[in-house]
Chain A
Amino acid sequence: MTLLKTVNLRKQFGETRACDGLDFVVNKGEFLSLVGSNGAGKTTLVNLISAHLQPDSGQILLEDRDITFTTVAERIKAGIARSFQIVNLFDGLSVFDNVALSVFSREGKTIKMVRLAEHDHDVRRETLEVLGQFGLASKAAALAGGLAQGERKLLDVAVAYALRPRLLFLDEPTSGVSTHEKAQIMDTVSSVVRGGMVTAVIIEHDMDVVFRYSDRIVMMHEGSFLADGTPDEIRANKEVASILLGAPLTA
């Protein structure tokens, strides 16, 4: 069942066609990896879908609803959330508050100024739940700015996840951490996301991670889709392999 669909989506930066007429489809419940070399257009595609950028032409449809011209806030309300490639947190707030703010915002409670945030037990309970799922409960009181990189990555995902999106975009959730930590992070993210029945699209460069966790892999190259299939299908695709490995395969 299709959750998100783009129709002939285009975005150009000067001469560069970052998105060259893309028909992107995301199915409900799947864990999709978006791969490709730097500059292939992956982040641009995510930026367009999350309303960080406006497309030059084309449409974006969420379950048949045209959301092409909606604002960031409207898209979040519709159920699209994202994290960023360079960790983007509220460093001056505690880990708890980072996630709580997501929940408050989602619930429309951020306009309340004459009650104390900590008196909202529903929000508090939900925040602790999310923190627990991401293994950050013990760090709840710590300042986000003081965490280790791996924890910051997890918190970044947790903050986006706390918006209870239907479709979650994660831009390089494991970049900048050691191989060992990558597995830990991806195990956590994958189990939470699947457990919450959230559809996820991750941008990833580490092919081991991609092959291990994805239901489906979409490969971009210079603004277009090169390949689209399950990990096995992609593995068998010779053209993909040659691009990934940068060398022609023997016949």
Chain B
Amino acid sequence: MTIDAHPLPNRSLFKLAAAAAPILLVLILVPSLIGTYQLQLAIYGLIAAIAALGFNLLLGYTGLLSFGHSAYFGVGAYSVAFVVAHLGPHSMEFYLLVGIPVVAITSALFGYICVRHTRIFFGILTLAISQVIYSLALKLYWVTGGSDGLRVPRPALFLGLLDFLGPQGFQLFIRSYYYYVLGIFVVCVVLMWVIVHSPFGKALQGIRDNEVRARFLGLRIRRFRWISFLVSGTFTGVAGILWVPLNGLTTPDVLYWTFSGEIVFTALLGGFRNFAGPIVGGIVFTYLKTYAVATTEYWQLLLGVVLVTLVLVLPTGIVGAISQAGQRLGRRNAVT
């Protein structure tokens, strides 16, 4: 019995590539299949997926439920708005260049404060801190535009190579921006995949499963949680940075705690115990919400009912339910 011959969760990069290739192909072909309005929706979906992906590093992999992730999304969005208002260049690269360090620093700072606690107190602390940012954005109207918010015009992409003035500007922008966001989405997915499958990722999961044992392995619990928080907040912040040029406007709503609740909802919807769950959740939620808003004035009611039903019926989320069904089918087929 050779030791090396035993089956292991192996070659995960190959698995990722194999599973993702057809999906990526579809995503690349999407703009040629649907119109501008639908394409906008698809971009919002990808952005929500990035936000949820970041959020879930903290929940699914570290075991910490943050109810204040709207803060990082909002800080990302507002930092772009400030760049536009005060610094000038309407370049997407510049927005990212300035915005990413800003959200990283914000996450690092808030994370440092919040990871001193766990569970309920952690959740309340994240909520309280995000509300501080919200109330500042709301009240300091001479800086933040108050409840009216700040406008953000269409940026130039690829260092000004592409700008979107002229008659077909809007359609061209949406098409190009789709590929731009898709590119960043792919980078985010691959990066997060590597992170959760790295020794660091394993350590996080260990801490999630058994904090005491992890400590007795010599792991510095608080430091790991802090780093996870930092990465998590930064990813969600990137989503915010990508969101505001598309939305054209950022308001304090995007910092309010109920928006944090929506982010949590998206992770749960897809399933927070697996990697693809939040991605699926983000995209599905975007369509769900748009459909709900279009269908009824009382879309919040509809979403609330969906959420409660989901939590009751599909505890492992959409992806979890699919994979469980798949496993059952696999077992039945393997009865030979």
A/B contact in complex, CB under 8 angstroms: yes
Using a CB–CB cutoff of 8 Å, the interface residues on chain A facing chain B are 50, 52, 72-73, 76-77, 81-82, 84, 88-94, 96-98, 100-102, 104-106, 109-118, 120, 123, 128-129, 132, 137-138, 140-141, 159-160, 163
Cross-chain contact A138 with B6 (CB below 8 angstroms): yes
Tell me the interface secondary structure of chain B in the complex. helix
Pick from B215, B218, B219, B227: contact of A77, CB below 8 A: B218
In the bound complex, CA of A163 to CA of B201 (Å): 19
Cross-chain contact A89 with B210 (CB below 8 angstroms): yes
CB 8 Å contact bits of B236-248 with A (1 = contact, 0 = none): 0000000000000
- Cβ–Cβ < 8 Å partners of B227 in chain A: 113
Q: Given A89-B213, A128-B3, 18 more contacts at CB 8 Å?
A: A72-B215, A73-B219, A76-B218, A88-B212, A90-B209, A91-B209, A93-B205, A93-B206, A106-B218, A112-B199, A113-B195, A115-B199, A116-B197, A117-B199, A123-B199, A140-B7, A140-B8, A141-B8
Cross-chain contact A100 with B218 (CB below 8 angstroms): no
Q: List 16 A-B contacts (CB under 8 A).
A: A50-B216, A52-B216, A73-B220, A88-B212, A90-B209, A90-B210, A91-B209, A96-B8, A101-B203, A104-B202, A105-B203, A105-B219, A110-B203, A118-B12, A123-B199, A140-B8
**Beyond A82-B216, A89-B210, is A113–B200 a contact (Cβ under 8 Å)?**
yes
Using a CB–CB cutoff of 8 Å, the interface residues on chain B facing chain A are 1, 3-4, 6-13, 191, 194-195, 197-203, 205-206, 208-210, 212-220, 224, 227, 231
CB distance from A171 to the nearest CB of B (A): 11
**Beyond A93-B209, A110-B200, A111-B200, is A141–B7 a contact (Cβ under 8 Å)?**
yes
**Beyond A72-B218, A110-B219, A163-B217, is A88–B199 a contact (Cβ under 8 Å)?**
no
- Cβ–Cβ < 8 Å partners of A76 in chain B: 216-218
- Cβ–Cβ < 8 Å partners of B9 in chain A: 94, 96, 118, 141
Interface centre among B6, B198, B203, B220 (most CB of A within 10 A): B198
